Amino acid sequence: MLMELDMQSDVPIYTQLINQILEGIASGRLQPGEALPSVRSMASDIGINLHTVNKAYTLLKQEGFILVHRQKGVVVNPDGMPPVTAEYTEQQHKQLRSITAEAICRGMTRDQLLGIVGQIYDDLRPNEHERGS
């Protein structure tokens, strides 16, 4: 699993790691039940502190995206992804509101913003629009 982390970014490394894993799951590059590297192995492979990887894995586990088995190690949740809840919808609304506000302030049109969101969705789920979802 190839991780693209920006060590100079203002975004914390554990957040970047979470985002990369979520993108892998969303795009299908990481399948349900697929093993992820151990905390120690991931930290060594990308040259970061093992506590950083542990924090990312812990947060992903708490949200239900991954499972940690004593024998199998860390795996993408084989039983499916967490559902969309009211709390999740509210969280997304707040985050997208901030992004939308900045886009408006910079002069972006509604169609431009929706185009970007649509393109990102299509990049992650290229066959989704073919299924009519």
pLDDT digits (tens, 9 = 90+) for 17-33: 999 999 999 999 999 99
Q: What is the mean pLDDT of residues 96-108?
A: 97
pLDDT exceeds cutoff 70 at 131: no
pLDDT exceeds cutoff 70 at 100: yes
Q: What is the pLDDT of residue 2?
A: 73
CB 20 within 8 A of CB 57: no
Is the domain spanning 13-76 CATH 1.10.10.10? The answer is yes
- Dihedral of CA atoms 114, 120, 124, 127 in degrees, nearest 10, equals 50
Domains of the chain, residue spans = 13-76, 86-127
Locate 89 and state its tokens: 């919808």
Confidence of residue 130 (pLDDT cuts 50, 70, 90): low
Helices (H) and strands (E) in the chain, counts: 5, 2
pTM, two decimals, is 0.86
> 35-74 burial, b if ≥16 CB within 10 A, otherwise e?
ebbebeebbeebebeeebbebbbeebeeeebbbeeeeeeb
| Average pLDDT, rounded, for the chain | 92
Given the structure tokens 């009519």, which residue do they identify?
Answer: 132
Q: What is the pLDDT of residue 23?
A: 94
133 or 61, which is more confident: 61
**Cα four-point dihedral sign 11, 123, 65, 42:** negative
Question: What confidence tens digit (pLDDT) does each residue in 47-97 have?
Answer: 999 999 999 999 999 999 999 988 889 999 999 899 999 999 999 999 999
Q: What is the pLDDT of residue 61?
A: 97
